[in-house]
Amino acid sequence: MVGEAGGVAHATAVDALDEAAVSGWRAHFVWTAFDESGAIRLPGADMACERMVDELPPLSGRSQAGAVWRSGCRVMEETARIDWRFDMLAATSSSHSSGLFVNARAVGIAGILAGVALAAEFLFFSLSGFSQSAFSDPASAMTFLRDHGALVRTAVLFGASGIVVTLVFLAGLADRLKAQTPTLAAATLLFGIVGNVGDGLVALSFWTGIPAYVALAGHDLASAQNSWTAFANLTSGYQGFGNLFLGLSAFAAGLAIVTRRELPVALGAIGLLAGVAAIASVLGVNSPLGFFGFATAILLVIVFRVWAGIELLGVGAKRDEK
């Protein structure tokens, strides 16, 4: 690759790259030769000539999954006059990598299931005739729970199941976005985890609270009605908390996709709109804006999860082919 002519080092090839797979990441290096004065430089190499003294351990020995080394060098003295040096040009995800958390195929399936679970939850809530105003009124709520409580519990069962696959989906989506937008990827995952905690508290409260209130109303209606307002306000707070952070998660994911285009831009736009709608549903609670924002957010989040799941499923299929 590099030889000596008349005591001066010269390059016989300028595009030689060494590649090393490092824990699912492929690192690209270029070799450069200099003489002692620093006068010799490979054609096309735009870098300062310095005598580098850092030593990197062998790449095969590094075990930091997903790490990206932005610079690095090693000196090997070939003669008294020539230094060899290499710099890492880039680090990109290997086509054979399964990602830090889960593989793309599993993430894609989880995304599709998360969208289906949310659609089923919304469907059963609608079939129950659920109304926030009627649900908040102690007198009408007891009748509603007795007649339609089973449908509401079915809805929250789908919701709780959806939380499981949604967390897997968010972990994989964040892993997909982290190379180009690490901060937004982290926000997507962390906000999503917090938001799912809120949704989980709603589901758990409904699942255990509905039969308890139906049983209490059967022998002590006054006590059930007197305590119902506190229960309804508490679950409403859980829901608002969950919607706010899930909205922030969707917005962060959408922004990451739109700015770096790791996935289709239209998908990112849907994520942005879903996030704005979810946040609006919290800020405009008990108003037409809140209802419109909630319904819009549900629809857009379903589309976002299913579409993103299909895209990631395709990525997994392509990797398997390779």
Share of the chain above pLDDT 90, in %: 55
The pTM of the full predicted model, rounded to 2 decimals, is: 0.68
Is 190 inside any structural domain?
yes
Q: Do 145 and 247 share a domain, yes or no?
A: yes
Q: Do 110 and 89 share a domain, yes or no?
A: no
Q: Do 36 and 110 share a domain, yes or no?
A: no
Pick the last residue of a domain from 54, 69, 93. 93
Neighbour order of strands in the sheet with 17-22:
17-22, 25-35, 82-93, 76-77
User: What's the whole-number mean pLDDT along residues 300-309?
Assistant: 96
Q: Do 109 and 89 share a domain, yes or no?
A: no
Is 89 inside any structural domain?
yes
Q: For residue 201, name the pLDDT band (cuts at 50, 70, 90).
A: very high
Pick the last residue of a domain from 40, 62, 93. 93
Q: Do 85 and 109 share a domain, yes or no?
A: no
Token duo for residue 151:
């449908």
Q: Do 130 and 79 share a domain, yes or no?
A: no
Q: Do 285 and 157 share a domain, yes or no?
A: yes
Q: Which domain holds residue 88?
A: 2-93
Q: For residue 313, name the pLDDT band (cuts at 50, 70, 90).
A: confident
310 in Cβ contact with 108 (< 8 Å):
yes
Q: Do 84 and 120 share a domain, yes or no?
A: no
Query: Are β-strands 17-22 and 8-11 bridged in parallel, bridged antiparallel, or unpaired?
Result: unpaired
Q: Do 147 and 208 share a domain, yes or no?
A: yes
Q: What is the pLDDT of residue 207?
A: 95
Is 114 inside any structural domain?
yes
CA dist 19 and 95 (Å) reads 13
CA dist 303 and 298 (Å) reads 9
Cross-strand bridge partners of residue 76: 84
Model pLDDT for residues 64-86, shown as the tens digit of each residue: 333 333 333 333 333 333 333 33
Is 99 inside any structural domain?
no
Q: Do 17 and 66 share a domain, yes or no?
A: yes
Is 212 inside any structural domain?
yes
Is 244 inside any structural domain?
yes
Q: Do 305 and 261 share a domain, yes or no?
A: yes
Pick the last residue of a domain from 65, 93, 121. 93
Q: Do 170 and 305 share a domain, yes or no?
A: yes
